[in-house]
Amino acid sequence: MRRLPVLAFSLFALLALSACATGQEGATDTGNTAPTPAGASEPAGSAPAAGGGCSVSSEAAAVTVNIQNFAFDPPEVTAAVGETIGWTNADSAPHTATTDDGACDTGNIAQDASAGLVFDAAGTYTYHCNVHPNMTGTITIQ
């Protein structure tokens, strides 16, 4: 009879761990180019992001967004078509900058790393962090 509680607890722990692993798998890079660590550079050119509309960029950011305390700062930015928007992660957890339609994604940005996106069309793009969906922002491209 004493085995039942131990077995039940073990099963619960296994399910909880598998749920955490599944959640992390969903939060990993979605196949787009990985972010560039701070101080490093990617090969020349930009890799297209899924769905078009933007591309990952290793160029110096014309507009910067800090990620700190699980928030984008500033939450609203404006850039010109072709300018790089750069995100730098000051949190210990990884974050992404992903448009709500999923077409543009920085991939995971590790602590003290940066990633950039360049948009090729004017418009307003709402975005979030795939790892922490409560983190949101707005990009206006002119």
CATH number at residue 60: 2.60.40.420
Give percent of the chain above pLDDT 70.
63
Would you tell me how many other CB atoms lie within 10 Å of the CB of residue 127? Answer: 25
Find the domain containing 110 and state its range.
Answer: 31-141
In a domain, residue 18? The reply is: no
Check whether 32 has a pLDDT greater than 90: no
In a domain, residue 1? The reply is: no
Distance CA 4, CA 70 (A): 41
In a domain, residue 13? The reply is: no
- Give the list of residues 6+ apart from residue 118 with CB closer than 8 angstroms, or none: 46, 54, 55, 57, 59, 82, 83, 84, 85
In a domain, residue 3? The reply is: no
Q: Is 47 exposed, middle or buried (0-12, 13-18, 19+ CB in 10 A)?
A: middle
- Give the list of residues 6+ apart from residue 1 with CB closer than 8 angstroms, or none: none
Q: How many domains does the chain have?
A: 1
In a domain, residue 126? The reply is: yes
Considering the chain, what is the average pLDDT of its residues?
76
In a domain, residue 95? The reply is: yes
Check whether 38 has a pLDDT greater than 80: no
In a domain, residue 73? The reply is: yes
Taking only the tens place, the pLDDT of each residue in 77-113 is: 999 999 999 999 999 999 999 999 999 999 999 999 9
In a domain, residue 76? The reply is: yes
